[in-house]
Amino acid sequence: MHVLITGGAGFIGANFVHQTLTRHPDATVTVLDKLTYAGNQGSLADLGERVTLVVGDIADTDTVDPLVAGADVVVHFAAESHNDNSLRDPSPFIRTNLVGTFTLLESVRRHRVRFHHVSTDEVYGDLELDDPAKFTPTTPYNPSSPYSSSKAGSDLLVRAWVRSFGVEATISNCSNNYGPYQHVEKFIPRQVTNLIDGVRPRLYGAGQNVRDWIHVLDHNDAVWDIVEKGRTGETYLIGANGEKSNKEVVELICELMGHEPDDYDHVADRPGHDMRYAIDNTKLVEELGWTPRYTDFRSGLQDTIEWYRNNEAWWRPLKAEVEARYAAQGQ
Ligand code: NAD
Ligand code: DAU
């Protein structure tokens, strides 16, 4: 089996490449990645001859087409992924998330290749803190930010290409991932690397916002289950019942890193900040038999902290620029 993984030098994609080599010992992998600020070749170091990295843009048909033609399956992670960046400049989000996904869809249509589209729970908007509801595959789309609306648009393109052209595609919408190789612009790695640097963590607003945390390895196991057993045209929600407020998470990071639990600062809130995400994973669990393995958040977070302590060479070159961007907006 030959697998084309877009965005395979990013956080979730790189973990997926590693997991693919283990789960499918006979598989070979091509990673198509533009190596934007978020792509890191170091995440794919020492993987051997089974992995080939092609540096290129998913919105470029001439690059995409021959790679798709040679693949048995395309797993599409590449995206502009950070909400705060989309508030500063939405344009790359439109090009990569919408035009890029369109380009891939046209190519899998031409070559009749199986396609899996990796998406986010943010397409559903947000929930109130006291709402007993969770997102389900039939929750109406209601995205809030340029990032989430561009992902929502990409999901709708996939659905239309299935129905109009018979493309063999599935979609997954997952909640917040954490684990190794996550960019230091994101919440958990930012606070962990701040504390390593002797800087106080930064919590947006009051920190009441809730995210439904899942370990990246559990997300990717679910993606493989969907690729192998999912039904064409179906949407599967991936989540592991990991709801926590941002305040709880930052306080746990402080505690695990030997600080007082309140050793952090409140900073300017994110405009339009979604309040709560929560996933109902019933369909994935009952239909495909997926079970998350890393459900002890405290221990997953401790391992993630250790990873950042042991891999400073991986994140150090990224840190100063990220913090300069946040400082410019009072965060
Ligand atoms: P990331 O920002 O860490 O990685 C994105 C990767 O895509 C990078 O390697 C980047 O170089 C590459 N890329 C960007 N534009 C490209 C282009 N035009 N052509 C080729 N490559 C390009 O993102 P991530 O957190 O790993 O997210 C991966 C996917 O998972 C995204 O589609 C995201 O929407 C989705 N997702 C993320 C989360 C999360 O918590 N991080 C949760 C649910 C879904
Ligand atoms: O829900 C899935 C989504 O999760 C993915 O689609 C996105 O690609 C991914 O980035 C993530 O989006 P969030 O916006 O939820 O993640 P982020 O890590 O940026 O922030 C998590 C929460 O922490 C959010 O409520 C904002 C808050 N935050 C973030 C940063 C960077 C802070 O309080 N302080 C910070 O410094």
Q: 24 CA distance to ligand 2 centroid (A)?
A: 32
Q: Distance between CA 242 and CA 223 in Å, rounded?
A: 18
Domain boundaries, given as residue ranges, for the chain: 2-178+214-238
Residues with CB under 6 Å of ligand 2 are: 81-83, 120-122, 175-176, 186-187, 190, 202-204, 209, 211, 246, 270, 277
Strands 169-174 and 235-238: parallel
Supply the pLDDT for residue 198.
Answer: 98
Helix H or strand E segment including 270: none
Supply the pLDDT for residue 38.
Answer: 98
Which residue in this structure is represented by tokens 């994935």? 284
Strands 114-120 and 169-174: parallel
Q: Active-site residue 294, yes or no?
A: no
For atom 13 of ligand 1, the residue with the nearest CA is 78
Q: 69 CA distance to ligand 2 centroid (A)?
A: 35
Supply the pLDDT for residue 131.
Answer: 95
- Would you state the structure tokens that stand for residue 140, as one six-digit string? 């109406």
- Whether the ipTM is more than 0.95: the answer is yes
Distance between first and last Cα of the chain: 45
- Would you state the structure tokens that stand for residue 158, as one six-digit string? 């996939």
Q: Active-site residue 122, yes or no?
A: yes
Q: Distance between CA 212 and CA 230 in Å, rounded?
A: 23
Q: Which residues contact 93 (CB under 8 A, 6 or more apart)?
A: 80, 85, 86, 146, 147, 150
Rg (CA), the chain: 19
Residue 210, classed as helix, strand or coil, is strand
Supply the pLDDT for residue 295.
Answer: 97
Splitting the chain (331 residues) into consecutive groups of 10 residues, what average pLDDT does each group show?
Answer: 98 98 98 98 96 98 98 99 97 98 99 98 98 97 98 99 98 98 98 98 98 98 98 98 98 98 97 98 98 98 98 98 96 96
10 Å CB burial of residue 86 (0-12, 13-18, 19+) is buried
Please tell me which residue in 80, 84, 124, 147 is annotated as part of the active site: 147
Q: Which residue type sits at 183?
A: H
* Domain at 2-178+214-238: CATH code: 3.40.50.720
Q: 1 CA distance to ligand 1 centroid (A)?
A: 23
Give the residue from 39, 49, 56, 146 showing the smallest Cα distance to 107.
56
Supply the pLDDT for residue 98.
Answer: 98
Supply the pLDDT for residue 11.
Answer: 99
Supply the pLDDT for residue 70.
Answer: 98
